[in-house]
Structure 1
């Protein structure tokens, strides 16, 4: 499973009570909500989308700062966001690429006879390898 943790800066508007959340390690990733719980959920969603876009473009996952090194502006506080990238990608990931591959004829016959989805097998295998190496 790919779970990521990023520190985020939270700011509450004194007039409305709404929260704004900034993720310093993900440039431009800003979200918020009317309550702290909503702000956390919205920030996790925004950060997950930010990271998924990077992954779909073939870019590496940005490293997270150590929480103690992140300093919010006046009036803010720092907390951690947890991103479940597998669940997010399963729900929202949509970019696919077409690949041409070559396999032995006997293996092709076996797979077709058993109605095996080649794309799903390759996706599952590559996901497993990716998770083992990251």
Structure 2
């Protein structure tokens, strides 16, 4: 089951795009346009949220924090799946032992192909990234 939560955010238009405040985490970020601001908010929530989890702290409730707004502010929600975000950010490499036909190995080595890169690219396509 997904660990998806939607947190309220306050978007404040400014000359560079949007300033973003996430009350539940008491964090700020910004974006050059609305879409970028939403993505930056999701990223900030993800980074801080998995840090909370790693430290054994409970994630804030969606209504935690003080929601202070002004006339031009936009209040909306940004959703995040912390489990998926953690996986996306975990770029550790793991060693895998694979078996391929001998003739294919010879041809690939002769061409100087990078087996790890080819396997990674094929897996990304196979799993839908």
1:41 maps to which residue?
39
Higher gyration radius (CA): 2
| Residue number among 81, 85, 88 corresponding to 2:82 in the alignment | 85
Contact 1:9 1:78 in 2 (8 A): yes
Unaligned 5+ residue runs, structure 2? 92-129
Aligned pair count reads 89
Q: 1:93 to 1:72 in 2, by over 3 A?
A: farther
Contact 1:70/1:78 (8 A) holds in 2: no
| Structure 1: runs of 5+ lacking an equivalent | 95-134
Structure 2 length-normalised TM = 0.63
Structure 1 residue 78: deviation in Å?
Answer: 0.3
State how far apart, in whole Å, the 2-side matches of 1:21 and 1:93 are.
25
Root-mean-square deviation over aligned CA pairs: 1.9
Is 2:57 the partner of 1:56? no
Give the 4+ runs in structure 1 shifted more than 3 A. none
